[in-house]
Every structure is written in C-alpha cells, then in structure tokens.
Amino acid sequence: MRHFVGFIAGLVLAPVLMLGTGWTLPRFVDLSATGQSIVTAQGMVAIGAGAFVALLVALVAVPPRLTPMLPGIAGLSLVGITAVQVLRPGLVDRVPGVPGLEGATTLLEIGAYLPLGLLLFLPMLVPSRWTGPAAAQGVTEEEYFDGLYDEDYEDTDPERRRTTRA
C-alpha cells in the first residue's frame, strides 16, 4: 500500500516541482533586470519559494524509510517531460496556462529538469529502500543459525560429549 501511495504522490510531486521552480524563475529575472537586491521583499519571497522547493526535494530524496516510488515516479515524470520537450516541442505549448508555467517551460527548454529528474530517480535503484520498516527488525544471523541445528548435533568434540553426558 505504501508503494501505491508513493506512486500517486510522485505523480503529483512532478508538476508541483515544475510549477514551483517555474514560479520563482521570473521573479529572479525581474530582480536581475531591475538591478534590485534579493534583500528586498520580492527577493525574499522568491528565495523562500526556492528554498521550499529545495526542501521538498531533499525530504523526498533522502529519507531511507520512504518508499522509493515517490521520488522515482516524480523523477521519471521530469525525465519524461524533458524527453517530450526534445522530441515533440509543440506538445508542451498545449498545456493550459497556470501560474509558473512560463518559467517552467523556460527551464524545460534548457534541460534543467533532467538532472533533477535523475536525482529523484536514483533512490529507486537502491535495494534497501524497497524493504519496509518491519523487515529491518528481522531475525539476526545468530538467531537464524541457532534455530537451524540441534545443540547435540553441533557438539562434535568427543571429549566435550563425555563431560556433558556424565
């Protein structure tokens, strides 16, 4: 069930990341064009939005107990939309206008989502991410081998067998 929820959340996360970064890009361009510093109110809002997107990426990519489907599907979606932009650029122009789409298409055209998509996809390849928290509390190696053999069978030293029988 956690993988299914991660799959759905990953599908939602990709557009959120694209629109979040796309919303901040024109703000930074406007600040640069007018010669303003990031210390202004507009600059702080843009920095805050960028920091939120960066924090969201870190919270999705780093935790080891999180299902790998969430960052993996978001990463595959970002890589897929980048491939669509390269192969059929006219399809991206058909997306209805939403806030942040202008900056997102600019970032998409320069290929900025490809490294982000690969960063989010890589946790999907780590085998330990696929096991749940219950699997981590399994049987230790010692407990496994203790239950595998009888204690009398392990006692192969004849000197020791004589002392235990007497």
More confident residue, 139 or 36: 36
Please state, for a pLDDT cut of 70, what percent of the chain lies above it: 80
CA–CA separation, 77 vs 126, rounded Å?
A: 19
92 near 84, Cβ under 8 Å?
A: yes
CA–CA separation, 30 vs 44, rounded Å?
A: 13
pLDDT digit string, tens, across residues 22-39: 999 888 888 888 888 888
Q: Residue 78: its pLDDT value, please?
A: 92
**pLDDT of 82 over the 80 cut:** yes
Q: Residue 114: its pLDDT value, please?
A: 92
Q: Residue 159: its pLDDT value, please?
A: 62
More confident residue, 77 or 66: 77
Averaged pLDDT, 99-119: 88
CA–CA separation, 25 vs 125, rounded Å?
A: 31
Q: What is the CA radius of gyration of the chain?
A: 27
- Two structure tokens written together for 3: 């993988």
Q: Please, what is the Cα angle at 81 between 5 and 111, to 5 degrees?
A: 125
pLDDT band at 94 (very low <50, low <70, confident <90, very high): confident
Question: Which range has the worst mean pLDDT, 11-15, 33-37, 72-76, 81-85?
Answer: 33-37
Q: Residue 52: its pLDDT value, please?
A: 92
Q: Residue 48: its pLDDT value, please?
A: 92
